């Protein structure tokens, strides 16, 4: 794990030539943990990583080679969550009252998973002290805003070049706590058909199924802020979230790649290669 302050908010890997109207993002795989964050946390560094969608940007690393950009956050989700509104904040985390325009009533805030998370994904509290609003504002200004500026620019460029854009927001999901439970390998979230053209969702679903993956839609992950905010099919911008079961590629307790990682990455590269060749003129 990197234990230095992030040098930049994100890594953007562009293709040599854009060949398709696809844009890929990985907002939750960042693992640059600032030293001041580690010092303020009541959890150890390994426990903080439970919120990561670890290694997801590596799983989709073929995208630029196949003609589509890949934007990956470098900052960790537990530090600042790029898949939230910019100001979803829990008043109980702060040492002074928050500005009245802050959204403190969202379900994400109630669950402790706002823009500045109160807990890690497994439910343990992160901080040993209350934060100042200035700390939250600094994270939004230095992490959230640059990431979304870059994403907005990519979408606009793609729409100008191809007439439309399909944003694929890449995530991973924990294994079901009950052994043997019927958990799919992949969940596609298109906000129940409102963020992405149904035909595009079907194309991606079929491509995954041809590789043997069990795919489900929208349950329980229908898409977060990125999918719902950017997915505007009437404006020819479509967004879909993909959640991949971590058990396919990593040891979840140790947060390490296992033997399935290379196979999954190769399968995804084959899927992306097919998607890059699709006729997306219907978008």
Distance CA 85, CA 98 (A): 16
DSSP, residue by residue, 49-107: GGG--TTHHHHTTTTGGGT--EEEE-S-TTT--TTS-TTB--GGGBSSPPPTTSB--SH
Going residue by residue through the chain, which has 283 residues, state the pLDDT in tens, using 9 for 90 and above.
433 344 589 999 999 999 999 999 999 999 999 998 999 899 999 999 999 999 999 999 999 999 999 999 999 999 999 999 999 999 999 999 999 999 999 999 999 999 999 999 889 999 999 999 999 999 999 999 999 999 999 999 999 999 999 999 999 999 865 555 678 999 999 999 999 999 999 999 999 999 999 999 999 999 999 999 999 999 999 999 999 999 999 999 999 999 999 999 999 999 999 999 999 999 9
131 and 94 Cβ atoms separated by less than 8 Å: yes
How far is residue 188's CA from residue 176's CA, in Å, rounded to a whole number? Answer: 17
DSSP H or E stretch at residue 271: helix 260-276
Query: 225: exposed, middle or buried (C-beta count within 10 Å: 0-12, 13-18, 19+)?
Result: buried
Record the pTM: 0.95
Please tell me the predicted confidence (pLDDT) of residue 180. Answer: 59
By the 8 A CB rule, do 147 and 74 touch?
Answer: no
Residue corresponding to tokens 């399935």: 260
Asked if 25 contacts 171 with a C-beta cutoff of 8 angstroms, the reply is no
How far is it, in rounded angstroms, from Cα 158 to Cα 167? 10
Alpha-carbon distance values, 77 to 51, 58, 92 (Å): 6, 17, 19
Contact in structure between 218 and 190 (CB atoms under 8 Å): yes
The dihedral region occupied by 78, where left means phi > 0, alpha psi between -120 and 50, and beta the remainder, is alpha
pLDDT, tens digit, for every residue of 150-197? Answer: 999 999 999 999 999 999 999 999 986 555 567 899 999 999 999 999
Strand order in the sheet with 237-245: 10-13, 70-73, 22-26, 165-173, 237-245, 186-189, 215-217
Residue 123 region by backbone torsions, left for phi larger than 0, else alpha for psi between -120 and 50, else beta: left
CB 280 within 8 A of CB 221: no
């Amino acid at each position: 794990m990197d234990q230095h302050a992030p040098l930049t908010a994100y890594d953007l890997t562009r293709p040599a030539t854009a060949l398709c109207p696809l844009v890929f993002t990985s907002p939750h795989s960042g693992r640059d943990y600032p030293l001041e964050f580690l010092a303020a946390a009541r959890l150890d560094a390994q426990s903080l990583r439970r919120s990561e969608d670890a290694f997801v940007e590596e799983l989709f690393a073929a995208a630029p080679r196949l003609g589509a950009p890949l934007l990956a956050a470098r900052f960790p989700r537990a530090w600042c969550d790029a898949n939230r509104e910019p100001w979803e904040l829990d008043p109980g985390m702060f040492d002074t009252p928050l500005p009245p325009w802050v959204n403190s009533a969202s379900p994400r805030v109630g669950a402790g998973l706002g823009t500045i998370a109160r807990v890690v994904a497994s439910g343990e509290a992160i901080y040993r002290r209350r934060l100042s609003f200035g700390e939250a504002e600094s994270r939004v200004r230095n992490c959230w805003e640059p990431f979304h500026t870059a994403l907005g620019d990519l979408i606009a460029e793609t729409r100008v070049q191809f007439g439309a854009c399909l944003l694929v927001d890449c995530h991973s999901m924990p294994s079901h706590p009950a052994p043997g439970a019927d958990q799919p390998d992949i969940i596609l979230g298109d906000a129940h058909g409102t963020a992405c053209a149904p035909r595009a969702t079907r194309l991606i679903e079929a491509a995954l199924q041809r590789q043997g993956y069990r795919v489900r839609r929208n349950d329980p992950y229908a898409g977060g802020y990125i999918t719902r905010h950017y997915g505007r099919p009437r404006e020819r911008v479509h967004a879909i979230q993909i959640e991949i079961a971590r058990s396919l590629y990593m040891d979840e307790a140790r947060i390490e790649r296992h033997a399935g990682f290379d196979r999954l990455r190769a399968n995804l590269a084959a899927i992306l290669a097919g998607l890059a060749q699709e006729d997306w003129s219907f978008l």
